[in-house]
Amino acid sequence: MTDIDIAQKVKADHIKKIAEKLDIKEAHLEYYGNEKAKLPLDLIDEEKVNQSNLILVTAITPTPAGEGKTTTSIGLNDGLNHIGKKSVVVLREPSLGPVFGMKGGATGGGWSQVIPMVDINLHFTGDFHAIAMTNNLLAALIDNNIQNRSKNLGIDPRTVIWKRCMDMNDRSLRNIVSALGGKAGGIPNETGFNITAASEIMAILCLCKNLEDLQDMCSNIYIGDTFEGKPVYAKDLNASGAMAVLLKDAIKPNLVQTLEGNPAIIHGGPFANIAQGTNSIIATKMGMSLGDYAVTEAGFAADLGAEKFLNIKCRKANLSPKAVVIVATIRALKYHGGMSLDRLTEEDLEALEKGFPNLERHIESIQSFGLPVVVSINAFNSDTEAEKKLIYDYCKTIGVPVALSYGWAEGGKGCIELAEKVIAAAQTCEVKFTPTYDLEDSSFTKIEKICKKIYGANNVVLTDKAKKQLKKFENLGYAKLPICMAKTQKSLSDNEKLLGRPINFDIHIREFEIATGAGFIIPIAGNILRMPGLPLTPSAEKIKIDGEGTISGLF
Amino acid sequence: MTDIDIAQKVKADHIKKIAEKLDIKEAHLEYYGNEKAKLPLDLIDEEKVNQSNLILVTAITPTPAGEGKTTTSIGLNDGLNHIGKKSVVVLREPSLGPVFGMKGGATGGGWSQVIPMVDINLHFTGDFHAIAMTNNLLAALIDNNIQNRSKNLGIDPRTVIWKRCMDMNDRSLRNIVSALGGKAGGIPNETGFNITAASEIMAILCLCKNLEDLQDMCSNIYIGDTFEGKPVYAKDLNASGAMAVLLKDAIKPNLVQTLEGNPAIIHGGPFANIAQGTNSIIATKMGMSLGDYAVTEAGFAADLGAEKFLNIKCRKANLSPKAVVIVATIRALKYHGGMSLDRLTEEDLEALEKGFPNLERHIESIQSFGLPVVVSINAFNSDTEAEKKLIYDYCKTIGVPVALSYGWAEGGKGCIELAEKVIAAAQTCEVKFTPTYDLEDSSFTKIEKICKKIYGANNVVLTDKAKKQLKKFENLGYAKLPICMAKTQKSLSDNEKLLGRPINFDIHIREFEIATGAGFIIPIAGNILRMPGLPLTPSAEKIKIDGEGTISGLF
């Protein structure tokens, strides 16, 4: 059975039943159909947040198919509920880009899924669209100000860094010349689109405390300079009120359920390669307010999602996980050990062992934060007993707890070993995490610390353009912002061909973007792009719907 | 009190209570919060459609503030319910373009509004965003096909006519060069964005029967040619399944309520100047299935919305209104009589009388369809008794029923006279309307008939470009499609400065667009643009939201 077959076969509970399990009264729910609801922010209870166990799920460097972080998060949550713990899984919202492109949905797989999976993977409750409109309203206001010379703040169009966005893999929009067609069409300008998840508005939504805070953060977005070199902010365009109004519902986390009827909160930001890539602070705190355990994930491997989750998000929200799960697959470890993608179902103990250093690097990264690690092997039917034993023995040798997880095949029952080891690890954790860098460090030092301590790089190399940009940001007073790296997810380095645990490499920062509203600097490493393209055969081509409304070809 | 003050003051009923009034069971409702719900298509009952009275509300050529067509439609619906008729008002969804631009919301005014007005004017149930994503998915698939030479259908990028869209007044996106940045960025191309309401996808949603029909219509979208000159359709890109899936919820009409708790269905397409501009066939038939009266509106004046409502939509759906209300204001008639916008509150009987020919032209247009007309004067406080008497007497002279409507000030109570005259008119109507042109006419003849019979033009003049395009469309086999004019709403002519009832003018067709999936040809007259721009001071600048979530500055 495919994921969508399973998801459509299971009868979902009415969402009010899921809410009841969390002692949420029906009056607090804002329904979107019978299976989705938005939750009001006043359900957040800081006292409960302080008592709850936050569990972060991250991964090794993934194969193109992903390691099953979401599947493991859902399975772990179901496993925790299975053994009597009150646990909530807090996930990120899928982007339509991969849904129509290559990677597929982001709602788990097999018997560890969240439902209604079709809706969640499509428009869900409209949050992404609201974010895109907010982003693009600011763009239209900037260009309109430039166009109307009597009102123009004196914005120099050549300095405008604010891009538009769209939740689509559309390479053609990456670099455009806009405002052609003569006087009525505006002042021609080089610009482009990022994918919505990479928009600063997404980051603001994920990092704000409430709607007022969001409005303030929007005010502080730096968009470019006047001809006199004075910085211009969204507040100068009187934009932030309308921006906040567009986000008044998107700011509320969404409640859904796992296939086993356990609560799941889904809210905010994927794409930890090109964005901050973790769900919203509001959603994480909501999960912690409602559950004794809150299981959350951060995108791609620990060098990206987990690093940003800790250094940006948890630092800002004053949160700290009690344990970190690193998801690995035997397939991916063999891939890092040199096997080709088409042979990964064959047993190969040598390749597997050769792949361990990638896992080792990510374990060290999490340990560098001072946090307990649990390795979770996301089991595939093709894994052999000898392979499983090898990885078990390896983890024992290095003193890290390990569990085989059968969430895909068995749901929560298949994740009880993992759940028990996570509980044990969380009980040992008595400290808050230690960040990789201090906010007082210079921007360059911060980048260097991430690249050396987390990626294992030798040095950081900036292009002349990047040096100039960084200097400018420091002159504008942004030296104390944290860093949100944009780097390929396919390697610890900035070169996607370097698998395993690369050594003797530098990180090359091509250019910077800055998000002064969200509050971080974005170094862009290697060839990474913040607007993906579609693959040779986009998934969209396979999707069909029949007269009865039954959908096929979607995952 | 402003419109938003009134709308926020009235306590809305739970939407299930509104549904109960229409005998809709709760199980049929898909809630979006407590005050909005989507309705399933199987509530449409063709037998009831045949028995129901469809009432179309149109207007004279409007001032920039609009004549109050939506306000009158809502007031008339409340009036009909007030006197014991089972009536449903069926409106179009607002676009965010005017909300952040100039015209404001599209949910009526004063005591004739639909609520929740803020939500309806913002993202509502996400229909516009789903339409935009569908439009833009096709654009991405086209460009991706061109980019991947091994898969390329042989599409000649210079011939691609499919544009992207966004629900924003953003002149900078009207004309762009896309896909810059070298090989990885695609093949550079001249293209642009229309506003979402003008997208062919909006028209398909508004003209389809059901999701299967929608998928078929999407398949037939013509996007450009191969290098060999063969036409390429969305079906050649395997796009229509994914497009239909994106629209699986947007296709369902939305149920809300008037301030007086009467049912309102809101679904699909505004902007009758640049689009077909009427709500969906599905929504109209839903309204007719649920009410003995269904009051609907078509955008701008009778030369635009009503013409398209009848010649395109009603012809396709085999519907015919029983009566047509033409909304006029004394202010606008004086404006057409030569008064300047800033003096319209002063009494001026001479200017008023001079403005009558505009009303007369629109009455004649509706009569040319063989339909009964009722004139509704949307009353303003500044109207004087003498002015009211003058217009009353004028309508009597020409034998057209007239009612003064106080929907804005009094809600349904203020529209009882109108309701009674509409019922009387509907009872006299025993025929289906006569279209302005036959589908068998040549495309040029169709355009000529609209321009002469509805606008009062002398001739139709095509540019060389337009002639070439029309010839091409005929060669492709599209000679029998109906016509969807794009023309300024500010004049019966294509020159927005010609007020009143212009004579001795030609209509100039600058170029054509074509919508082969929706099934019409779009002649673009004069200077009209299908992507608006923001005004000098966009409404967006005034919008604020406070810590309690109270919104101000939105209308």
Catalytic member of B103, B252, B334, B487: B103
pLDDT at site B106 = 85
Compute the CA torsion angle A105, A109, A111, A113 (nearest 10 deg).
Answer: -40
Mean pLDDT of chain A: 96
Nearest CB among B171, B211, B546 relative to A184 is that of B171
Identify all chain B residues contacting A213, using CB atoms and an 8 Å cutoff: none
Contact state of A176 with B172 under an 8 Å Cβ cutoff: no
Which of A69, A164, A354, A501 is the catalytic position? A69
What gap in Å lies between CA B219 and CA B233, rounded to an integer? Answer: 7
ipTM higher than the 0.90 cut: yes
Q: Which one of B143, B223, B252, B545 would you mutate to disrupt binding with A, by most A Cβ within 10 Å of its Cβ?
A: B545
Q: How confident is the model at residue A501 (pLDDT cuts 50, 70, 90)?
A: very high
**B126 to A122: CB separation less than 8 angstroms, yes or no:** no
Q: Chain A partners of B126 at a C-beta cutoff of 8 Å?
A: 123, 126, 129
Q: Is B171 on the interface with A (CB under 8 A)?
A: yes
pLDDT at A484: 98
Known binding residue A525? Answer is: no
Determine whether the interchain pair A186/B171 forms a contact, defined as Cβ–Cβ distance below 8 Å: yes
pLDDT in tens, B545-554: 887 888 888 8
Looking at B374-479, list the stretches that DSSP marks H as alpha helix, in order from N- to C-terminal side: 385-398, 407-410, 416-428, 443-449, 464-475
Read off the pLDDT of each residue in A348-356 and give the average, rounded to a whole number: 97
A174-208 per-position pLDDT tens digit: 999 999 999 999 999 999 999 999 999 999 999 99
Give CA–CA dist A242/A244, Å, rounded. 5
Question: Given an 8 Å threshold on Cβ–Cβ distance, is A241 in contact with B139?
Answer: no
Residue B187, Cβ neighbours under 10 Å: how many? 17
CA of B320 to nearest chain A CA: how many angstroms apart? 28
Residue A408 designated active-site: yes
Look at strands B459-462 and B402-405 and give their pairing: unpaired
Q: Hey, what are A481's tokens?
A: 């912002």
B92 belongs to the catalytic site: yes
Q: With bands split at pLDDT 50, 70 and 90, how would you rate the model's confidence at B104?
A: low
Position with higher pLDDT, A2 vs A348: A348
- A70: annotated binding-site residue? yes
Could you give the 3-state DSSP secondary structure of residue A66? coil
Region A338-346: mean pLDDT is 94
Q: Is B215 on the interface with A (CB under 8 A)?
A: yes
Residue (of A87, A451, A101) closest to A261 by Cα position: A87
Disruptive mutation site among B245, B531, B550 for chain A (greatest number of A CBs within 10 Å): B245
Indicate if B361 belongs to the active site: no
Neighbouring residues of A232: CB distance < 8 A, sequence distance ≥ 6: A153, A155, A222, A223, A224, A225, A226
> Is-catalytic flag, A111?
no
pLDDT at A261 over 80: yes
A170 or B548: which leads in pLDDT: A170
pLDDT of A309: 98
Look at residue A153 in the predicted model and tell me its pLDDT.
95
State the residue for tokens 């799920």.
A57
CATH of domain B35-125+250-428: 3.40.50.300
The alpha carbon of residue A148 is apart from the nearest alpha carbon of chain B, in Å, by: 6
Structure tokens at B219: 């398949």
Q: What is the pLDDT of residues B406-428, one digit of tens each?
A: 999 999 999 999 999 999 999 99
Instruction: Judge whether A300 counts as a catalytic residue.
Output: yes
Mean pLDDT over A284-291 rounds to 98
Q: How many other CB atoms sit within 10 Å of the CB of residue B299? A: 30
CA distances from B403 to B345, B357, B398, B410 (A): 20, 18, 14, 15
Structure tokens at A182: 């003569």
Scanning every residue of chain B, which has its alpha carbon at the shortest distance from the alpha carbon of A166? B133
For residues A250, A253, A258, A260, the Cα torsion angle rounded to the nearest 10 degrees is -140
Relative to beta strand A189-191, strand A176-178 is: antiparallel
Determine contact, residues B96/B134, Cβ cutoff 8 Å. Answer: no
| Tokens standing for residue A518 | 């969200």
Q: Which of A328, A307, A284 is nearest to A72 (CA)?
A: A328
Report the C-alpha gap between B402 and B422 in whole angstroms: 10
- State whether A541 and B242 contact (CB < 8 Å): yes
DSSP B142-206: HHHHHH-TTT---B-GGG----EEESS--GGGSSEEES-SSGGG---EEE-EEEGGGSHHHHHHH
B538 interaction partners in chain A (CB closer than 8 Å): 141, 144
Number of Cβ pairs < 8 A linking chain A and chain B: 239
User: Is B211 close to A545, i.e. CB distance below 8 A?
Assistant: yes
Q: What is the dihedral of CA A476, A479, A483, A484, to 10 degrees?
A: 0
Q: Give the orientation angle of helix A349-368 with respect to helix A385-398, to 10 degrees.
A: 30
Q: What fold does the segment set A127-247 form as a domain?
A: Domain 2, N(10)-formyltetrahydrofolate synthetase (3.30.1510)
Query: Closest to A168 (Cβ–Cβ): which among B136, B171, B529?
Result: B136
Taking contacts as CB-CB distances below 8 angstroms, the residues of chain A near B544 are: 241, 245
Closest-CA residue in chain A for B550? A245
Is domain B443-525 in CATH 3.40.50.150, yes or no?
no
* Tokens 């669209």 belong to residue: A129
Euclidean distance between CA atoms A350 and A390, whole angstroms: 10
DSSP A126-163: SHHHHHHHHHHHHHHHHHHHHH-TTT---B-GGG--PP
Q: What is the pLDDT of residues A293-333, one digit of tens each?
A: 999 999 999 999 999 999 999 999 999 999 999 999 999 99
- Residue A83 touches chain B, beta carbons under 8 Å: no
CB B131 within 8 A of CB B164: no
- Give the pLDDT band (50/70/90) at residue A103: low
Q: State which amino acid sits at residue A387.
A: E
Q: Is B421 helix (H, G, I), strand (E, B) or coil?
A: helix
- Residue A546: pLDDT band with limits 50, 70, 90: confident
For chain B, positions 182-211, list CB contacts with chain A under 8 A: 184-186, 189-190, 210-211
What does the pLDDT average to over B224-229? 96
Q: Is A506 exposed, middle or buried (0-12, 13-18, 19+ CB in 10 A)?
A: middle
Q: Kindly state the percentage of chain A with pLDDT values over 70.
A: 99
CB A18 within 8 Å of CB A114: no
**A242, B100: Cβ pair inside 8 Å?**
yes
Decide if A332 contacts A301 (C-beta within 8 A).
Answer: no
Sign of the C-alpha dihedral computed for residues B389, B390, B395 and B396 taken in this order: positive
Q: Do A136 and B168 touch (CB under 8 A)?
A: yes
Residue-wise pLDDT for A139-151, tens only, equals 999 999 999 988 8
**Which one from A408, A473, A512, A520 is the annotated catalytic residue?**
A408
Which residues lie closer than 8 Å to B213 by C-beta, 6 or more apart?
A: none
Mean pLDDT over all residues of chain B? 96
A433-457 pLDDT tens trace: 999 999 999 999 999 999 999 999 9
- Binding-site members of B are 63-70
Instruction: State how far residue B265 is from chain A, nearest Cα, in angstroms.
Output: 17
Average pLDDT over residues B20-25: 96
| CA B399, chain centre distance (Å) | 29
Binding site, annotated residues of B for ATP: 63-70
B172 vs A: CB within 8 A: yes
* Nearest CA among B211, B311, B260, B274 for reference residue B89: B260
Q: Which residue of A has its CA nearest to B236?
A: A541
Q: Is the confidence at residue A104, as pLDDT, over 70?
A: no
The interface residues of chain A toward chain B in range 106-125, judged by CB-CB distance below 8 A, are 118-119, 122-123
Q: Where are the domains of chain B?
A: 35-125+250-428, 127-247, 443-525
Q: Do B553 and A34 touch (CB under 8 A)?
A: no
For residue B480, the 8-state DSSP code is T
A408-425 mean pLDDT = 98
Q: pLDDT tens digits for B357-411?
A: 999 999 999 999 999 999 999 999 999 999 999 999 999 999 999 999 999 999 9
What pLDDT was estimated at residue B103?
64
Spell out the residues 6+ positions from residue B61 whose beta carbon is closer than 8 angstroms to its own.
Answer: B300, B301, B303, B332, B336, B358, B362, B489, B490, B491, B492, B499
Interface of A with B in 219-248 (CB under 8 A): 237-239, 241-242, 244-246, 248
Q: Catalytic residue among A71, A107, A191, A258, which? A: A71
Task: Reply yes or no on whether B103 is catalytic.
Answer: yes
